[in-house]
Amino acid sequence: MKKRVLVTEPIPKSVVDYLEAEVELERWSHPEKIPKGLLLQKIPSFHGLITFKDNIDQEFLQAASQLEVVSNISVGYDNFDIEAIKRSKIIATHTPYVLDETVADLIFGLILATARRIPELHQYVRNGKWSKSVDISLFGHNVHHKKLGIIGMGRIGEKVARRAKVGFQMDVCYYNRSRNHKIESELGAHYEQMDELLKTSDFILLMTPLTEQTYHLIDYEAFRKMKRTSFFINASRGAVVDEAGLINALENQLIQGAGLDVFKQEPIQLNNPLLKMENVVTLPHIGSATAETREEMKLFAAKNMLQALRGDTPDAVIKELN
């Protein structure tokens, strides 16, 4: 008898066909997330779950009596309670590498949009304000040859560093808990302690995972150390920043602007003060959201699932569970 897999995110036909060759599939294909109650009701009859952002917590795991594998369609897995999964012996996988270039492209888009004020000027043209040469008060700032500080120089950070060094001749420094010797020797990016990076960078990119250690890693005190002319970019997870501290820092002009793909609460609430600030560019968590890359991520998640259900080691088991 075929094993049963539940997929709670829309997937393309190619991935459906790939999975159905080996397993019996049930799909939740609505644009809105599956309600938690319904997921808990359904999950006892499944061996596998392919998910995008469902919370895989203790309550879910208790209900998932036959579950063997949970496969996340994303590289970040802060929606997983890793300690609870360890105790359950369920295999958990994610989708690293396939999205790195795409997310790095988006991050450069955010850097450029923020420094060159692209959304604001786009609106200026559309609102019919372009009647003479653009006033100096609307000029942006250079990106090329500036200093980029990356907090979290991992797979995606490296791709951003490459773009910054090769395409924009930027001075790139980074902070991690451990040294990334490859990026130092290949690109000449240099390691700096966090304080030094905060004090000297023109652009500060946050690219760590969200963990207990990184929760509110950047708070008001961190913004106080940054240059008043600096731009803060976050494409990691909203909770790696203390969002109230960021709002405060922007209101007090401790930094010049921010480019944000991720927020404390997603979707963002419309009364969030960040949405009223001209010097803040906001995106709806779309780092990996191109048609090509999302399809590749879904295929990768499906491969991880089938490998695990066959008893093989999946290509991308979450490292704490390896």
Residues in region 95-124 near ligand LL5AMS7Z by CB under 6 A = 99
In the numeric block, which tokens belong to residue 7?
Answer: 């997929």
Of the candidate spans 12-20, 30-38, 69-77, 152-160, the one that interacts with ligand LL5AMS7Z by CB under 6 A turns out to be: 69-77
In the numeric block, which tokens belong to residue 266?
Answer: 């997603």
Residue 259 in contact with ligand NDP, rule: CB under 6 A: no
Q: How far is CA 85 from CA 48, 57, 67, 91, in A?
A: 14, 8, 11, 8
75 vs 309, beta carbon nearer ligand NDP: 75
30 is catalytic: no
Helix residue ranges, H only, the chain: 13-20, 36-42, 58-63, 82-88, 100-115, 118-126, 155-162, 168, 181-187, 194-200, 220-225, 243-251, 291-310
φ, ψ at 7 (rounded to 5°):
-120, 120
Residue selected from 287, 299, 314, 316 as contacting ligand LL5AMS7Z according to rule CB under 6 A = 287
* Closest by CA position to 66, among listed 53, 50, 49, 82: 49
Whether the CB-CB separation of 47 and 3 falls below 8 Å is answered with: yes
Residue 75 in contact with ligand LL5AMS7Z, rule: CB under 6 A: yes
CB of 242 to ligand LL5AMS7Z, least distance (A): 20
Say how far apart CA 313 and CA 305 lie, in whole Å. Answer: 10
237 is catalytic: yes
Residue 180 in contact with ligand LL5AMS7Z, rule: CB under 6 A: no
316 conformational bin, left if phi > 0, alpha if psi -120 to 50, beta if neither: beta
Residue 105: count of CB within 10 angstroms of its CB = 16
Q: Please identify which of the residues 24, 221, 266, 278 carries the catalytic annotation.
A: 266
Say how far apart CA 234 and CA 8 lie, in whole Å. Answer: 27
Residue 178 in contact with ligand NDP, rule: CB under 6 A: yes
Residue 288 in contact with ligand LL5AMS7Z, rule: CB under 6 A: yes
Of the candidate spans 74-82, 122-130, 141-149, 188-196, the one that interacts with ligand LL5AMS7Z by CB under 6 A turns out to be: 74-82
In the numeric block, which tokens belong to residue 104?
Answer: 């790095």
75 vs 164, beta carbon nearer ligand LL5AMS7Z: 75
Q: With contacts defined by CB under 6 A, how many residues of the chain interact with ligand LL5AMS7Z?
A: 6
Q: Please identify which of the residues 237, 243, 294, 296 carries the catalytic annotation.
A: 237
Of the candidate spans 45-53, 115-123, 124-132, 207-215, the one that interacts with ligand NDP by CB under 6 A turns out to be: 207-215
179 is catalytic: no
In the numeric block, which tokens belong to residue 34?
Answer: 């599956």
Binding site for ligand NDP (CB under 6 A): 75-76, 96, 99, 103, 152-157, 176-178, 207-211, 213-214, 235-237, 261-262, 285, 287-288
* Catalytic residue IDs: 237, 266, 285
Binding site for ligand LL5AMS7Z (CB under 6 A): 74-76, 99, 287-288
